[in-house]
Structure 1
């Protein structure tokens, strides 16, 4: 519960956000850009898990089903691929680097 409160307030206290998964930065950018337009499936899952206390303000921004981990991460490829609903063959073979840069927003994902 404390973790969810931290995510919901981070936009008010941070200028820039770095999202990490298993020790690797997978998304970075201005706080309003990352929270308003998350690109990485993990970032979307994090944001969709944050409860909104005011029922009148609740909307479904993202609906993402995380895969049950059917195979463990084997040390190569994207660290998130065992859980990612969008995983492709390249995700198992190569680790994506941070790309993008639109609005100073970067993501490590082969979808972009």
Structure 2
């Protein structure tokens, strides 16, 4: 079988090596750019610290076992935490890992 080539086609250009999850390259699938969010964290923190604390009634939901340390971290910025709860069997993705519990707590909070 003969390989067909196109005389006017540009030669293939190899993609540069990807060295970190945040490297940008147009040929990379979207899931390989998922860590871009974390590049903005320092800016998010500085913006949050620059703003005045909020006194809006707040529902705080955290990963299982993280309520006390998270509450201690956010309390100076969220001064009206009216309901706080650990989400059982959940880590980073509370809604995905325990949707029934999160939904029930959210509805309970909104009803009050």
TM over 0.5: no
Report the TM-score when normalising by structure 1.
Answer: 0.24
Higher relative contact order (CA 8 A, sep 6+): 1
Report the TM-score when normalising by structure 2.
Answer: 0.24
In terms of Rg, which structure is larger? 2
Compare the two structures and name the one with the higher helix fraction: 2
